[in-house]
Amino acid sequence: MADETPKPQELLDRIAYQPPAKHWMDVPVNIRKGMYCYASNPKSVEYLSMPNARPWNPLEDDWQLPENWQQILHEGFKERLEKFRSIKVFMDICVRCGACADKCHFFIGTGDPKNMPVLRAELLRSVYRNDFTALGKVLGRLNGARPMTLDVLKEWWYYLFQCTECRRCSLFCPYGIDTAEITIFGRELLNLLGLNIDWVATPVANCYRTGNHLGIQPHAFKDMLDFFVDDIEEITGLRCEQTFNEKGADILFITPSGDVFADPGTYTCMGYMMLFHYLKEKYGLKVTWSTYASEGGNFGFFTSHETMKRLNAKMYLEARRLGVKWILGGECGHMWRVINQYMDTMNGPADFLETPVNPITGTVYQNAASTKMVHISEFTADLIRHGKLELDPSRNDNKIITFHDSCNPARGMGMFEEPRYVIKSVANHFYEMPANTIREQTFCCGSGAGLNAGENMELRMAGGLPRANAVKYVHETFGVNMLACVCAIDRAALPASMEYWVPEVDVTGVTELVANALILPGEQERTMDLRSEPLPGMEEADE
Amino acid sequence: MNDKKWIVLGLVIFLGLFTFPLWYNLLVRPGTAAPAPEVVLTDKAKAARQCVMPTEFMKTDHMQLLDEWRLKMVREGTGTFVNPEGKMFAASLSNTCLDCHSNKAEFCDRCHDYVSVAPYCWDCHLDNPKGER
Amino acid sequence: MNQFYLSSLLAVFVLALIAWLGALGLPWLFGIVLPYLAVLIFIVGVVRRIVGWSRSPVPFAIPTTAGQQKTMPWIQQAKIDNPSTTIGVVARMALEILTFRSLFRNTRMKMNGEEGRISYHLEVFLWLFALAFHYAFLTTLVRHLRFFLEPVPWCIQMLGTLDGFMKIEILYNPIQVGLPGVYLSGIVLLAAVIFLFLRRLFVANVRYISLASDYFPLFLIMGIAFTGILMRYFIKADVAAIKELTMGLVTFSPSVPAGISPLFYIHLFFVCVLLAYFPYSKLMHMGGIFLSPTRNMRTNTREARHVNPWNYPVKVHTYEAYEDEFREKMVEAGLPVEKMPAPAEAAATEEEEKE
C-alpha cells in the first residue's frame, strides 16, 4: 500500500457529506494523487489499433489531445445516441430526485458530491443538453447545459474512472437509469480520444495477444497450473493433472487469469483443479482448460463495446475449435455480466454447442440453453444437491464465513442462492451481513471496472468502505473471519480493503471452500487446508 | 425492431385516452356544441326582478350563502338575512329560495347537472314545498 | 439565494401576470388559441420524443436483476424482480409504474459517530409523497373531465363523489370552506408538491443537483393547484360559463362566454404552459419509464438470444494467429497444436536449447 494513503481514521474524518456552496459547474475538477489511475500506455492502445495512442499525463495541463477533439466527442456522442436507446432515454428522463445519491460506495466513502450517481450522469447530461436539446441551447446554464471544454473533459475522465459500474444506484432509480450504462458509454467516448487508464488498457492488449489479462503465455500458463499440481499433492497426496486445449473434451472451463496468478485466487484455482480431478476419477467427466481462451474476465467491457466483443469472441471460437459440448465459467464478477447479458448477442448464436446438461446428475440448464455457458456455482450446487460430491464440511470449521455478493452476478444476473447453498453445504459456520448490504443491494468491493490499481489506493479504500463496514459488523457480532466471494477482482481487491479496514478477516473463493471439504478418492489424511494451514483439530499434528 | 409495434400501440392508447373528450363528444353529440344551459325563471321570479343578491353573486356564491343561512338558522336560531340594500329576507331555502324558484328541474338541476355537482340540499329539503308551479 | 429556484419562481409569476393581462384584453387568445396550440405542441412533442427514442435500437439486453435468477428447479426464482418471462416483465413494469417499486426500496445512509459505523435506514417519505403527488394529479386530471364531457358520464360523477367523500366543512365567520365539497385530490396535490419543493430546498445534496428545470415544473404545478383551489373555495368562479368555454374547445365550436374571472385564465394558462413544456422536459419520464431497458426486458438472457440490429464483425485475434506466435513454446511445453512446426524449425529450437 502506498505510503501516502491516509490511515483509516484520517480517511473517515475527511468524509463530509455537505456539498460546497458553489454550484457544481463552478467547482473545478481537482485530479488528486491516490484517486486516479495512470494514463494508458500508448503501446497497449496501439496494439488494439485504437485511436490517438500517445503518452500523456492526467496531472499535466496539456493532455495532447487531437486538434478536433470536441468534434470527435460530439460525433461520437451523436452516433451512440442513435445506437443505444438506453443512453437516449437516460439522458432525457432523470428528474434528479436524488434517490441514488447515497447508494454509491464512492459517494459514501468520499463524500464527493460528484460521486453521487445522479451528478456523475449530469456531467454528461449537461453537455448533451447543450449539444442536442433545444431548451438547453436557448436557456443554457439555467437549464443545466454547458459546452464541452477541456475542464469538462477532465472532469469526465476523473469521475468516470471513479465508478465501478456496479449498478447499485440503478436498483433504486424509479426509472431504472443505470449509471453503469452511462459510465460504459462515457468511457467509450473517452477512448475515442485515447484517454484510457493503463490498468485497463494494458490488460486488454495482453488479453488480445496471449488470451489473458496478465499476458501469461501458453507454456507459462501450463507451468503455473503444474505448480498447483505439486502443491495439491503435498496436501492430498494426489496429482490432479489437468488437460489443456484438449479436443473432444466434454466441457471447456474458462476462469479469470487472476486466479492463476495471485493469492488468494490461486487457492480457488487449486479448488477447480481438485474438483475436476474428482469428477474425472469418479464419473469420467473430461474438463479441459484453454491457453488461448485463458481469460474469463473482460477488461474490454471497461473500454468499449467493440473491445468487449473482440476479447469475448475467443470463448466461442475456442469452444468450437475444441468441439466441446458446452462451456463452464469460473468465479468472476464482470465476466458473468458479459456472459449473461452480452456474449450471445455479440458473438452468438453458439449453435455448434449443446444445451448444457450436467452428465453426472442429468440436470438440464434450460436457463443457459442459448448461451451454453454455466456458472461453476450453478454446477457445484447441482452436484451437491444430487449428493454427487463426498464432503467433510468440518474441515472448514475454523472458518466463520460470510458471503459477499459481487455486483455483476448480483445485479446483472441474479445469482444469490447457488453460492450460498454451496457454502452452507461445505462449511458449518455461515452468517449473513446486514440485509441492505447483500444480495441485490450488495456493495462493490470498491475496485471493480478496472480500478484495481496500486496508485489509486485511497480511492479504492474509500470505495471499499461500505463493504468493509458491513464485514466489520459481522466480524464483531459473529466473529466472522472469512469473506467468501465469487469474483476474481474481489479476491484481488478485498484482501487490501480488509487489511485496511478489518484486518482480522481473510478472503476466499467459494470453490476453495468446496475443495477443502471435498474428499478425493484415495487421498491421504489431510492435515492442511489449501493454504497449507492446519485443519481444525490438526493444529498439534502440524507442530 | 419487434418492440416498435408495442411502442406504437402504447402511443395510440395514450393518445386515445388523452383525446377522449374529443371523440366522446363527437359520438354522443355529433356536430353540436354544449353551451351552458338556460335556466327557466318562474313568473314569480320574473316579477321579483332581483334575487336576494345580484345575479352575478348568486351564480358563483349561492352555496356559500345557503351554508351561512343554515348555520344561522340551525345553530343560532336567527332566521333573517339582510342584503346590502337593506332588504330583509327569511334565511330559508324552502321559504325564500324555493318560493320563487319552485321549478328545481328547470332551475337548479340544469346547471348542477351541466357541471356535475350533486348538492345534498335535497337529502332533507322538499324541492317544491308549496307544490306551486 | 439560488438562481435556479428564484428564476423559476419569477417565471411563474410573470406567466401569471401575462395571463391576467390577457384575460382582460385578449380572452380569445388565452381562452381559445393558446389552449389549442398547447395541446398541439403536447401531442406532437410527445409523439416525436417517443418515436425518437424508439428509433434507437436496444442493442443489448441489460435488465437490472433484483432477485434470484431462474436456475435449477429447486431454487425459487424471483419471478417479478428477475423476470424471465413476458408476464413477469409486465408485472414488474406494472409495479414500477403503479407503485414506484424501485423508489420504495429507498434507504437513507447514516454515518454514525466516531467509530464510523454506517447504517441504512428506511426512507419512505420520498416514495410516499411522490406516490401521493402522482395519484392526486391523476385524480385531479380525470375529475376535470366533467368540464370536457357533456353529459358527464356516470364514472366521472362517481369519481367526484369519491374524491369529495370526506365532507370537510368549516364555517366560522368569516371563514367558510366546504361548499362546494372539498376534493381531497387537490389538497393532497398541493401538499405533495410543496413537500417535493421543500425537500429540494432543504436537503443539501438534492439542492446541489437541482436545476431550474426541476423547480419550474414544481412551481407551475403549485400554481395550477393553488389557482384551482382558490377558484373552487375562495374566489368562486362561474363554472357553468367555464364549462361552456371548455366544451366549445373540445367540440371545435369555441366561444368565450362573458363572466369568467381572470383567475381562471391564469389557471388555464398555467396548464397550457405545462402541456407545451412537457415534451421538452424531464416530465417525459412519464413515457420514458416504459422504455427503460433495465426494467422492461426479460432476464432470460442466457436462454434466448437477444439480437443486436447493428452487430458488426470485429477484428479478433484468432487461434491460428495465436498458435503461429507461440507454436514452438507450446510444443515444448507439451501443449497440443494444430500445425506441427516444420522439422527444420524444430531442429533449430532443439539446437538452441543445447547451446
Q: Looking at residue A1, what is its pLDDT?
A: 46
C21 and C120 co-located in one domain: yes
Q: Looking at residue C172, what is its pLDDT?
A: 77
Tell me which residue of C104, C55, C81, C56 sits closest to C298, measured CA to CA.
C81
Tally the domains of chain C. Answer: 2
C-alpha cell at C231: 377558484
Q: Which A positions 79-108 lie with beta carbon below 8 A of chain C?
A: 81-90, 92-99, 101-103, 108
Q: Looking at residue B127, what is its pLDDT?
A: 75
Cα C288 from Cα C277, distance rounded (Å): 16
Question: What is the interface pTM, i.e. ipTM, of the complex?
Answer: 0.94
- Cα(first)–Cα(last) distance of chain A, in Å? 33
Q: With beta carbons less than 8 A apart as the criterion, state whether C247 and C150 touch.
A: yes
C-alpha cell at C86: 413476458
Residue type, B117: V
Q: Looking at residue A441, what is its pLDDT?
A: 97
pLDDT over threshold 50, residue A16 = yes
- What subunits make at least 3 CB pairs under 8 angstroms with B? C
- From A66's Cα to the closest Cα of chain C, the distance in A is 25
Q: Write the Ramachandran bin of A446: left for phi over 0, alpha for psi from -120 to 50, otherwise beta.
A: left
Domain membership of residue C302 (yes or no) is no
Tally the domains of chain A. Answer: 2
Chain-chain contact of C308 with A346 (C-beta, under 8 angstroms): yes
pLDDT over threshold 60, residue C217 = yes
pLDDT over threshold 80, residue A322 = yes
pLDDT over threshold 60, residue A2 = no
Cα C108 from Cα A103, distance rounded (Å): 8
Cross-strand partners of C108: C121
Confidence of residue A541 (pLDDT cuts 50, 70, 90): low
A235 and A183 co-located in one domain: no
What does the pLDDT average to over A325-336?
A: 96
Residue type, C69: Q
pLDDT tens-digit series, residues C86-106: 999 999 999 999 999 999 999
pLDDT over threshold 90, residue A220 = yes
Q: Looking at residue A353, what is its pLDDT?
A: 97
Domain membership of residue A1 (yes or no) is no
Average of per-residue pLDDT values in chain A: 95
C-alpha cell at C224: 395550477
- What subunits make at least 3 CB pairs under 8 angstroms with A? C
Cross-strand partners of A509: A485
C276 and C349 co-located in one domain: no
Domain membership of residue C268 (yes or no) is yes
| SS3 readout for A480-538 | CCEEEECCHHHHHHHHHHHHHHCCCCEEEEHHHHHHHHECCCCCCCCCECCCCCECCCC
The range of the structural domain enclosing residue C346 comes to 319-354
Confidence of residue B94 (pLDDT cuts 50, 70, 90): confident
Confidence of residue C345 (pLDDT cuts 50, 70, 90): low
A481 interfaces chain C, CB cutoff of 8 Å: no
H-state helical runs in A374-487: 376-385, 407-411, 417-426, 457-478
C289 interfaces chain A, CB cutoff of 8 Å: yes
Q: Looking at residue A399, what is its pLDDT?
A: 96
Confidence of residue B131 (pLDDT cuts 50, 70, 90): low
C12 and C85 co-located in one domain: yes
A191 and A257 co-located in one domain: no
C29 and C146 co-located in one domain: yes
Confidence of residue B78 (pLDDT cuts 50, 70, 90): confident
Q: Looking at residue C287, what is its pLDDT?
A: 95
pLDDT over threshold 90, residue B74 = no
C-alpha cell at A472: 466489520
What does the pLDDT average to over C316-326?
A: 96
Kind of pairing, strands A326-329 and C170-172?
unpaired
Average of per-residue pLDDT values in chain B: 88
Least confident of A68-82, A132-146, C136-150: A132-146
Q: Looking at residue C351, what is its pLDDT?
A: 47
What does the pLDDT average to over C285-314?
A: 96
C127 and C265 co-located in one domain: yes
Quote the DSSP letter at residue A292: T
Q: Looking at residue A3, what is its pLDDT?
A: 62
- From C29's Cα to the closest Cα of chain B, the distance in A is 19
- Between chain A and chain C, the number of residue pairs with CB atoms below 8 A apart is 319
pLDDT over threshold 50, residue C355 = no
pLDDT tens-digit series, residues A368-381: 999 999 999 999 99
Tell me which residue of A344, A382, A391 sits closest to A361, measured CA to CA.
A382
What does the pLDDT average to over B39-68?
A: 91
A143 and A217 co-located in one domain: no
pLDDT tens-digit series, residues A385-395: 999 999 999 99
Domain membership of residue C299 (yes or no) is no
Chain-chain contact of A318 with C52 (C-beta, under 8 angstroms): no
**Which of C314, C318, C335 has its CB closest to that of A317?**
C318
Point out the domain boundary residue: A160, A180, A196.
A196
Which CATH number belongs to the domain containing residue C171 in this structure? 1.20.950.20
- Between chain B and chain C, the number of residue pairs with CB atoms below 8 A apart is 108
Confidence of residue C129 (pLDDT cuts 50, 70, 90): very high
- From C238's Cα to the closest Cα of chain B, the distance in A is 5
**Which of A9, A173, A292 has its CB closest to that of C319?**
A292
C-alpha cell at C132: 401521493
Distances from the Cα of C165 to the Cα of A377, C154, C158, C184, angstroms:
57, 16, 10, 8
Q: Looking at residue C353, what is its pLDDT?
A: 46
Tabulate helix, strand, coil % of chain B (nearest 5): 55, 5, 40
Cα A533 from Cα A402, distance rounded (Å): 20
C204 and C325 co-located in one domain: no
Domain membership of residue C312 (yes or no) is no
Distances from the Cα of A337 to the Cα of A116, A197, A302, C15, C301, angstroms:
23, 21, 12, 50, 10
Confidence of residue C165 (pLDDT cuts 50, 70, 90): confident
CB burial string A103-119: b at 16+ within 10 A, e below = bbbbbbbbbbbbbbbbb
A182 and A292 co-located in one domain: no
Confidence of residue C209 (pLDDT cuts 50, 70, 90): very high
CA A541 to chain centroid, in Å, comes to 39
C213 and C335 co-located in one domain: no
Domain membership of residue A3 (yes or no) is no
Q: Looking at residue C354, what is its pLDDT?
A: 43
Q: With beta carbons less than 8 A apart as the criterion, state whether A299 and A454 touch.
A: no
Compute the radius of gyration of chain B from its Cα atoms. Answer: 22
Cα C156 from Cα A94, distance rounded (Å): 33
Chain-chain contact of C302 with A223 (C-beta, under 8 angstroms): no
Domain membership of residue C304 (yes or no) is no
**Who wins on pLDDT, A73 or C111?**
A73
C305 interfaces chain A, CB cutoff of 8 Å: yes
**Which of C153, C161, C238 has its CB closest to that of B118?**
C161
pLDDT over threshold 80, residue A128 = yes
Q: Which A positions 263-292 lie with beta carbon below 8 A of chain C?
A: 291-292
- From A202's Cα to the closest Cα of chain C, the distance in A is 16
Q: Looking at residue C341, what is its pLDDT?
A: 83
pLDDT tens-digit series, residues A246-269: 999 999 999 999 999 888 999 999
C90 and C142 co-located in one domain: yes
A309 and A182 co-located in one domain: no
Tell me which residue of A449, A251, A439 sits closest to A333, measured CA to CA.
A449
Point out the domain boundary residue: A196, A223, A242.
A196
**Which of C51, C238, C255 has its CB closest to that of B60?**
C238
Cα B83 from Cα B89, distance rounded (Å): 8
pLDDT tens-digit series, residues C237-253: 999 999 999 999 999 99
Tell me which residue of C37, C321, B115 sits closest to A210, measured CA to CA.
C321
Cα A274 from Cα A518, distance rounded (Å): 8
Cα B119 from Cα A264, distance rounded (Å): 78
Domain membership of residue A2 (yes or no) is no
Question: What residues contact C353, with CB distance under 8 A and at least 6 apart?
Answer: none
Residue type, C156: I
Cα A421 from Cα A12, distance rounded (Å): 36
- A366 contacts on C by Cβ (under 8 Å): 70, 303
Q: Looking at residue A515, what is its pLDDT?
A: 97
**Who wins on pLDDT, C3 or A492?**
A492
pLDDT over threshold 70, residue C64 = yes
Cα C133 from Cα A530, distance rounded (Å): 58
pLDDT over threshold 60, residue A542 = no
The range of the structural domain enclosing residue A155 comes to 8-196
A317 interfaces chain C, CB cutoff of 8 Å: yes
Best to test chain C binding among B18, B111, B116 (most C CBs inside 10 Å): B116
Cα A193 from Cα A216, distance rounded (Å): 29
Domain membership of residue C176 (yes or no) is yes
Kindly state the percentage of chain A with pLDDT values over 90.
93
Confidence of residue B30 (pLDDT cuts 50, 70, 90): confident
pLDDT tens-digit series, residues A170-201: 999 999 999 999 999 999 999 999 999 999 99
**Who wins on pLDDT, A475 or B130?**
A475
Q: Looking at residue B130, what is its pLDDT?
A: 65
Domain membership of residue C313 (yes or no) is no
pLDDT over threshold 50, residue C30 = yes
pLDDT over threshold 70, residue A460 = yes
pLDDT over threshold 80, residue A9 = yes
pLDDT over threshold 80, residue C14 = yes
Quote the DSSP letter at residue C333: T
Cα A284 from Cα A359, distance rounded (Å): 10
- From A466's Cα to the closest Cα of chain C, the distance in A is 7
- From C274's Cα to the closest Cα of chain A, the distance in A is 14
The count of C-alpha atoms lying within 13 angstroms of the C-alpha of C65, restricted to the half-sphere facing its C-beta, is 33
C324 and C193 co-located in one domain: no
What 3-state class would DSSP assign to A86? helix
Point out the domain boundary residue: A149, A173, A196.
A196
